[in-house]
Amino acid sequence: MESSVFHCEKLSKSYQSLWAVSDLNLKVLKGQVFGLLGPNGSGKTTTLAMALGVLKPTSGYYSWFASGNAPALRKRIGSLLESPRFYPWLNAVQNLQITATIRGVAFSDIDRVLKKTGLYERRKSRYESFSLGMKQRLAIASCLLGDPEVLVLDEPTNGIDAEGIAEIRDIILEQRKAKKTILLASHILDEVEKVCTHVAVLKKGKLLQMGSIEEVLGHNIWFELKSAHKAELLAALKSFHRLKEIVDEGEFIKVVPENSLGGDELNRYLFDKNIILSELRSRQQSLEQHFLEVLRQ
Amino acid sequence: MMTLLKLEWLRLRGFRFFWIFLIGYFLCLLMVLWVSSSILVELMSGVSLPGLSGFNFSQTLSMIFYFSGFFEPFLALILIMMISNDSSLGTLKQHVIDGLSLEQVVLGRLIQVLFLVVISFVMIMGLSFLFAGRVSGQEMEWPSYLQVSGFLMRSLGFLSVGVLLATLIQRSIPTVFAYFGIRYILEPVVAFSLSFYFKMEVHGYLPLGVFASLIQSPKDILNLGITLSDKGSSAQLPESLSFLIAGLYFIFIWGAMYALLKNRRFR
């Protein structure tokens, strides 16, 4: 059985009459890279703030490692919530020593995480002298201290340049490869699509959709077909009962298949009907397109 | 406990104002002792005054215990700035996220207070040894446990008030104003008003008044044989009652701080 790393039931947070998060049910299993998506004000950060013990839920329950929500459990989690928070007058090493002390991590691990995040050369520089990107990197370094089982990253690429974003993506992918669990909130959907295995879409504090990337986007696959014998192709397609939609787009014919139908099966069917395709393109809605569609609904 | 001690030291050691204010506190104590001992040496040269004849270690200590109260705001400022910074920089929030419980946060602050009180005590002991030797050739008279516990309780109380205000206000400058305002304006004015209009002598019962009353004034120190309960501001309060009220205030302050943090939305 896959073990639960985080789950919440009917988790809610209200500010007077405004419900920032409402009856949220989530379950994150070990090894998942779970993306929390939503526009500004959708409740992503509020959810993470409750999960990380800095915001009291109005109602509902959450649990880490199926063991409740005791503060000591958070020592097994590397977390970056909203923005980096360090002492400006301390240098990178001194700031990480504080995090290491709280999390019970040996100081010897500090050099490793500083090298991983490209801050080793600046380890003796004061935090106040860091650029926004370097501050963000230090926060990522702090998350990686002690090689925790779980990473919670809220907008980890904030303020980071394109090269830095790619590096952080590599770090996340490396953690994913190492079967670490990651809970990632981001509005950069392209990033989420590249690294996440599962996503949940929030809007105004409510869960709109949740599942694996394949499940979420799998319903939105279509094919674009081209043949020298377009009329025969159209007729053959119309007689195929496993297609949900056929649209003549001029040069191509767009067909939306049932979930179980693959491109190879479609091609074989048409070949049996003596239709040779000159092109068969498989198309899938991007996470961004899907996200916008879900939000519109 | 050791983890919290280590954590607080890591936080304090790199804080410039910690060293500046600590050195400032030391220099003020040094100055007071130097000036007072110089005056006493002058007074005692060839004159025998009943109250001054025994100015030895115990009396020097009592004297400096009393005067250190004027400079304790230096230590309170360190705590106020540290706690306010933790709120404004969001480092407290990050520490909670990293796994610190609220109980540990409160305990960490108590450790900071104890740490400063211990440093202050060690400084005072050292300086008293130094200066008692300068003005007294007599046999060493050790301080009473009441002197020492009075000093410790007063320091803990004064600093705890600063910590509570910083926790409540979360900004250093307004907290500093509030701390000095309560200590030097609000509480004396309340005490005076109640005394003047209602003939109620409450100064010894108000928080900072109670903490201050745990230490003998120089006038009492120079009159050997006078006990704590005979002195100025807390003249109506027996020493045990002063300690009891101070203890209750101390418990209330730290309980209030825990309640405040428990119901706080961390920034």
| Bridge partners (DSSP) listed for residue A53 | none
Q: Residue A27: left if φ>0, alpha if ψ -120 to 50, beta else—which one?
A: beta
The whole-angstrom distance between A126's CA and the closest CA on chain B is: 11
Q: Are residues A109 and A49 in the same domain?
A: yes
- In angstroms, the separation between the Cα of residue B2 and the nearest Cα of chain A is 10
Residues of B in contact with A91 (CB under 8 A): 14
Task: State whether residue A274 is helix, strand or coil.
Answer: coil
Identify whether residues A252 and A143 lie together within a single domain.
no
Query: DSSP code of A95?
Result: H
What pTM, to 2 d.p., does this model score?
Answer: 0.80
Residue numbers of the domain that contains A43: 4-216
Query: Quick check: B95 and A87 CB within 8 A?
Result: no
The CATH number of whichever domain residue A32 belongs to comes to: 3.40.50.300
Q: Which long-range contacts (CB under 8 A, 24 or more apart) does A114-118 make?
A: A114/A141, A116/A141, A116/A144, A116/A171, A117/A141, A117/A144, A117/A167, A117/A171, A118/A167
Measure the CA angle with vertex A62, ends A57 and A213; round to 5°.
Answer: 110
pLDDT by residue (tens digit) across B157-210? 999 999 999 999 989 899 999 998 988 888 888 888 877 777 767 667 788 888
Is the reported ipTM for this assembly greater than 0.85?
no
Per the listing, tokens 């809605």 go with: A285
Asked whether residue A174 falls in the same domain as residue A275, the answer is no
Quote the CA–CA distance of A274 and B97 in Å, as a whole number: 64
Cα atoms in the Cβ-side hemisphere of radius 13 Å centred on B168: 16
The answer to whether the CB atoms of B10 and A94 lie below 8 A apart is yes
A212 shares its domain with A223:
no
The one-letter amino acid code at B97 reads I
Instruction: Looking at the structure, tell me whether residues A82 and A125 fall in a common domain.
Output: yes
pLDDT in tens, chain A (297 residues): 568 899 999 999 988 888 889 899 999 999 899 999 888 888 899 999 999 988 889 999 999 998 988 989 999 999 999 888 999 999 999 999 999 999 999 999 999 999 988 889 999 999 999 988 889 889 999 999 999 999 999 988 877 788 888 888 888 888 888 889 999 998 777 778 788 889 888 888 888 888 887 777 766 778 888 888 888 888 888 888 888 888 888 888 888 888 777 888 888 988 888 888 888 888 777 777 777 777 776
Query: What are all long-range contacts of A255-262, with beta carbons under 8 Å and residues at least 24 apart?
Result: A255/A222, A255/A223, A255/A225, A256/A221, A256/A222, A257/A221, A257/A222, A257/A223, A259/A218, A259/A219
- Given an 8 Å threshold on Cβ–Cβ distance, is B95 in contact with A79? no
CA-CA distance, B33 to B68, in Å (whole number)?
A: 10
Residues in chain B: 267
Cα–Cα dist A267/B237, whole Å: 99
Per CB-CB distance under 8 Å, the chain B contacts of A75 are 98-99
Task: Give the pLDDT score at A143.
Answer: 94
Helix (H) or strand (E) holding A101: helix A92-103
Which residues of chain B neighbour A89 with C-beta distances below 8 Å?
14-16
Return the pLDDT at B230: 42
What pLDDT does B47 receive?
56
Residues of chain A in contact with residue B263, where contact means CB-CB under 8 angstroms, are 56
Can you tell me whether residue A29 is helix, strand or coil? strand
Where is the domain boundary, A216, A243, A259? Answer: A216
DSSP secondary-structure letter at A89? T
Pairing of strands A33-37, A198-203: parallel
Residue B123 tokens, joined? 């400084």
Q: Give a yes or no: residue A273 inside a domain.
A: yes
| Strand A4-15 versus strand A206-212 pairing type | unpaired
**In which region does residue B56 sit, left (phi positive, over 0), alpha (psi from -120 to 50) or beta (all else)?**
beta
Nearest CA in chain B to A151: B98
What are A's interface residues with B at a Cβ cutoff of 8 A? Answer: 52-56, 70-75, 77, 79, 81, 83, 85-91, 94, 97-99, 101-104
CATH number at residue A280: 3.30.70
Q: How many domains does chain A have?
A: 2
**Cross-chain residue pair A88–B6, CB shorter than 8 Å:** no
Query: Which segments in chain B show pLDDT lower than 50?
Result: 51-54, 224-235
Burial of B240 (0-12, 13-18, 19+ CB in 10 A): exposed
- Residue A234 CB contacts under 8 Å (≥ 6 apart), including other chains: A246, A248, A253
Cβ pair B264, B102 in contact under 8 A:
no
Q: Are residues A231 and A183 in the same domain?
A: no
- Look at residue A291 and tell me if it is in a domain: no
Closest to B99 (Cβ–Cβ): which among A55, A74, A89?
A74
CA distance A248 to B148: 94
CA A39/CA A43 separation, integer angstroms: 9
- Residues in contact with B35: Cβ distance below 8 Å, sequence separation at least 6, in sequence order: none
pLDDT at B253: 93
Query: What are the CA-CA distances from residue A73 to residues B5, B96, B100, B152 (Å)?
Result: 21, 11, 10, 37
| Residue in chain B nearest A55 by alpha carbon | B265
A39 and A174 inside one domain: yes
Are B89 and A86 in contact (CB < 8 Å)?
yes
Identify which of A55, A90, A99 has the shortest CB distance to residue B98: A99
Please name the residue of chain A whose CA is at the shortest distance from the CA of residue B91. Answer: A85
User: Taking CA atoms, what residue in A is nearest to B8?
Assistant: A98
- Same-domain status, A248 and A171: no
If you search the block for the tokens 């240098």, which residue do you land on?
A91
Six token digits for residue A190: 């392209």
Closest chain A C-alpha to B262 CA, distance in angstroms = 9
Q: Which residues of B lie inside 8 Å of A (Cβ-Cβ)?
A: 3, 6-7, 10-11, 14-16, 85, 89-91, 93-102, 104, 263, 265-266
Distance from CA of B266 to the nearest CA of A (A): 6
Task: Report whether B74 contacts B25 (CB < 8 A).
Answer: yes
On whether both A28 and A44 belong to a single domain, the answer is yes
Across the interface, whether the CB atoms of B10 and A54 are under 8 A apart is answered no
Q: What are phi and psi of B263, to 5 degrees?
A: -100, 15
Q: What is the dihedral of CA B176, B178, B179, B185, to 10 degrees?
A: 130
Of A157, A185, A216, the residue at which a domain comes to its end is: A216
Residues of A in contact with B102 (CB under 8 A): 71
Which of A166, A181, A216 is where one domain is finished? A216
Q: What secondary structure, in 3-state letters, does chain B show?
A: CHHHHHHHHHHHHCCHHHHHHHHHHHHHHHHHHHHHHHHHHHHHCCCCCCCCCCCCHHHHHHHHHHHHHHHHHHHHHHHHHHHHHHHHCCHHHHHHHCCCCHHHHHHHHHHHHHHHHHHHHHHHHHHHHHHHHHHCCCCCCCCCHHHHHHHHHHHHHHHHHHHHHHHHHCCHHHHHHHHHHHHHHHHHHHHHHHHHHHCCCCHHHCHHHHHHCCCCCHHHHCCCCCCHHHCCCCCCCCHHHHHHHHHHHHHHHHHHHHHHHHCCCCC
Whose structure tokens read 């002195």? Answer: B231
The residues facing A202 across adjacent strands are A207
Closest partner CB to A102 (pick from B16, B90, B99): B99
Query: Is A295 among the domain residues?
Result: no
A131 and A154 part of one domain: yes
Nearest CB to B90 within list A52, A85, A99: A85
The reply to whether A250 and A166 lie within a common domain is no
Q: Name the closest residue on chain B to residue A96, using Cα atoms.
A: B10
Which one of B96, B99, B266 has the shortest CB-CB distance to A103?
B99
Pick from B149, B75, B104: which is nearest to B4 by CA?
B104
Q: By CA distance, what is A69's nearest residue in B? A: B99
| Domain co-membership, A210 together with A228 | no
The distance of A286 to chain B (nearest Cα, Å) reads: 34
A6 and A150 Cβ atoms separated by less than 8 Å = yes
Give strand ranges (E) for A119-276: 150-154, 181-185, 198-203, 206-212, 221-227, 243-248, 253-257
